[in-house]
Amino acid sequence: MTDSKQKEILRLQEYAGEEPQMLETIKQFWIAHNDYTQTEEESREDLRAWTAAGHRLYWIILVETAIGFLHMGSRGAEIDWIENLFILPEYQGRGYGSEALTLAEEIVKEYSESIYLEVAARNLDALRLYRRRGYDCLNTVTVRKDFHPEDFETISEETLLGKTFAVRRYRK
């Protein structure tokens, strides 16, 4: 089969010490999610934490190319939390995040009744993806107090249990 006709196969591959590439991908994750450029040491700290006991770090591989990562963790029981899911910007919008979720779910189904994740309320693309994929049961709610609300813009307001909450993001 020629490369141009090769089927796009997505798989998870456990991280096995490819440090320079993973450090760069972690930096890209933080730029995409928080518009923050990490130092080398901050990226190393994340990598150490995400590969410690109670964590699993996977490359998301498309054919033979790493296009992102999936970090799973334990919060007291089995590894059943999707802590971070990142697809490189040039591969986003093609269903690869959804496919990576399916692969993670297949792993966790082997030993748990549920899989959990958290998402920032301002990450509307991720919220839409997770909702489409059946993540529809509230487990916990995180609320925040902004000390300088003038530094934030409200992108929506949501009602939960009869109370209105603002969804805000920091003004750049």
Angle at 66 between CA 62 and CA 72, to 5 degrees: 100
> How far is C-alpha 13 from the chain's CA centre?
16
Token pair listed for 59: 């490359």
Amino acid at 165: F
pLDDT for 89: 95
Instruction: Name residues whose C-beta falls within 8 Å of residue 101's C-beta, 6 or more positions apart in sequence.
Output: 82, 85, 129, 130, 133
Strands (E), 97-151: 116-117
CB 139 within 8 A of CB 121: no
| pLDDT per residue as tens digits for the range 54-98 | 999 999 999 999 999 999 999 888 889 999 999 999 999 999 999
Task: Name beta bridge partners: 57.
Answer: 71
Mean pLDDT of 118-134: 88
pTM (predicted TM-score): 0.82
Among 91, 97, 48, which residue's Cα sits nearest to residue 70?
Answer: 97
